[in-house]
Structure 1
Amino acid sequence: MDPLTWLLIPLATAIMAALWGCCSGRSRRTDDWADVQRYDRLRAALARASASAPTTPATPC
């Protein structure tokens, strides 16, 4: 029975690590796809703005 008590140490460590990981982890966001869609709209708007911006010729100094 004495050797089995040494197995309780890794078992307890694994259980505590699992509990710590669940409790201290970041909460999952549910609106990730909304962020991706907003980023795509912003990127498209910036692409349209840069395409319609007038270009000035480079002048030598």
Structure 2
Amino acid sequence: MDPLTWLLIPMATGMMASLWGCVVSRRRRTNDWAHVQRYDRLRAALARAAS
């Protein structure tokens, strides 16, 4: 039984790491282009203000 306990520790660690990865993962954004266009407008406005 003792050798099986040593095999259980890495397996449990791997399972907990995969569970943690699922819990803390970020959802992907679907509308990134709106953020890019807003950033481009802000950058253009700042360039006009600086000159």
TM-score w.r.t. the length of structure 2 is 0.65
Which ranges in structure 1 are unaligned for 5 or more consecutive residues? Answer: 52-61
Measure the CA separation in 1 of the matches of 2:28 and 2:13. Answer: 25
1:25-44 map, 5 Å: 25-44=25-44
- Are 1:20 and 2:20 an aligned pair? yes
| Count of matched residue positions in the alignment of Structure 1 and Structure 2 | 51
Instruction: Give the residue type in structure 1 aligned to 2:12.
Output: A
Match of 2:9 in 1: 9
Q: CA deviation at 1:47?
A: 1.4
Which ranges in structure 2 are unaligned for 5 or more consecutive residues? Answer: none
Q: Tell me which protein shows more helix as a share of its residues.
A: 2
4+ residue runs over 3 A deviation:
none
Q: Tell me how large the CA RMSD over aligned residues is.
A: 2.0
